[in-house]
Amino acid sequence: MTEIVGLGYLGLYAEKLDDWRTYGTEVLGLQNVSEKIGVESDTVLLRADEQSWRFAIHQGETGGAAYIGWEVANRRALDDLGDRLSAAGVTVEEDQACAQERRVEGLIRCVDPDGHRLEFFYGPHIPKYPFVSPRGVRFVTGDLGLGHVFFFVTDLDAAKEFYLGSLGFRLSDTIEFHGRKVHFLHVNPRHHSLAFVQNEELAPALGHFMLEVDDIDDVGRTLDEVDSRGVTLTETLGRHTNDRAISFFMKNPSGSEVEYGYDGRLVDDTTWRVTNYDATSLWGHHRDRPDTDSES
Ligand SMILES: [Fe+2]
């Protein structure tokens, strides 16, 4: 029961696509491949590595995620996952038109307990032209997939049953504080590809997504860009207790946040033990709003 191998891509809505064209490239260091791929002007495609794209920003009301793409290894894994979701009572649809649009070989989709659209795919397109970061950044992806996503969920038990039970994510650890327990889940050696916490005031919502770079200096340089461009910093530089990543958090033009970090810990399933922490960070990660000092 381990079909999902990584976070593949993320679709977001934004009211001002031009903000993403600047932010995505000049702050995050992603490559804008919209013209190269030839998408309509209501979409911005951003690339982070050898895959043709990793982020799609669509014109629309800001907030939430349009869709989250989870990668499986091949057709058989996709079929197995579809069968298992159906057996668990989840409505799953194969969507070849969507697969073409996402530039993948095959794709099925469903919604999670909070209504987020999930897409499971295999066979992403790898073009021959190289990834060129406009800021010279190298993202840590490959077998670890594309960083992680963090959700505020309305019903923790439902989220656990769906992601740990039906989808086969594996629990890495939890962080308990302010009466809430954040759950961190992995599908490959990356410490977590998904995290969620129940929060009635904020859910359902994408809290943040994380991008990992391979050089601490690129975290620092990005922090300089955030500072000089007036991007809203939401958590100062810090190191998380559980995945040990050194990172900071900032707003993105879709209203959610981006965690930009380095040195995330790897999980070895043969020796890993689940633990429970009582703080999100060893140091740093300070928020102006103390009541929401909550994310990892
Ligand atoms: Fe995070």
142-292 CATH pick, 3.30.70.260, 3.30.930.10, 3.10.180.10, 3.30.2310.20 = 3.10.180.10
- pLDDT surpasses 70 at 293: no
- Domain residue extents for the chain: 4-124, 142-292
4-124 CATH pick, 2.60.120.10, 3.90.1260.10, 2.40.50.70, 3.10.180.10 = 3.10.180.10
d(CA 106, ligand 1 centre) in Å:
29
d(CA 295, ligand 1 centre) in Å:
7
Please name the amino acid found at residue 5: V
d(CA 164, ligand 1 centre) in Å:
18
The most confident of the ranges 35-44, 56-65, 117-126 is 117-126
pLDDT, greater one: 61 or 186? 186
- pLDDT surpasses 90 at 294: no
pLDDT tier for residue 62 given thresholds of 50, 70 and 90: confident
d(CA 231, ligand 1 centre) in Å:
18
- The per-residue pLDDT for 22 is 98
- The per-residue pLDDT for 289 is 54
CB neighbour class for 24 (10 Å; exposed up to 12, middle 13-18, buried from 19): buried
d(CA 31, ligand 1 centre) in Å:
22
Strands 170-177 and 180-186: antiparallel
Q: Which tokens sit at 277?
A: 């922490």
d(CA 195, ligand 1 centre) in Å:
7
Distances from the Cα of 55 to the Cαs of 9, 218, 285, in angstroms? 6, 20, 25
pLDDT in tens, 19-38: 999 999 999 999 999 999 99
Per-chain mean pLDDT for the chain: 95
In this prediction, residues 63-75 reach a mean pLDDT of 93
d(CA 152, ligand 1 centre) in Å:
12
Distances from the Cα of 50 to the Cαs of 6, 46, 126, in angstroms? 15, 12, 6
pLDDT tier for residue 58 given thresholds of 50, 70 and 90: very high
- pLDDT surpasses 60 at 295: no
Distances from the Cα of 285 to the Cαs of 93, 134, 292, 293, in angstroms? 40, 27, 11, 8
How far apart, in whole angstroms, are the C-alpha atoms of residue 91 and residue 125?
A: 27
Per CATH, 4-124 and 142-292 having the same topology is answered yes
d(CA 286, ligand 1 centre) in Å:
14
How far apart, in whole angstroms, are the C-alpha atoms of residue 31 and residue 153?
A: 31
pLDDT, greater one: 295 or 222? 222
d(CA 238, ligand 1 centre) in Å:
12
Residue that the structure tokens 């759950």 belong to: 183
- DSSP single-letter state for residue 27: I
pLDDT in tens, 36-49: 999 988 999 999 99
Q: Are 186 and 192 in contact (CB under 8 A)?
A: yes
How far apart, in whole angstroms, are the C-alpha atoms of residue 247 and residue 209?
A: 12
d(CA 156, ligand 1 centre) in Å:
18
pLDDT tier for residue 176 given thresholds of 50, 70 and 90: very high
- pLDDT surpasses 60 at 118: yes
- pLDDT surpasses 70 at 291: no
As a whole-number percent, the residues of the chain with pLDDT over 70 amount to: 97
- Sequence-ordered alpha helix ranges (H) in 186-289: 216-229
- The per-residue pLDDT for 296 is 52
d(CA 100, ligand 1 centre) in Å:
30
- Phi, psi angles (nearest 5°) of residue 96: -75, -30
Residue that the structure tokens 């939401």 belong to: 234
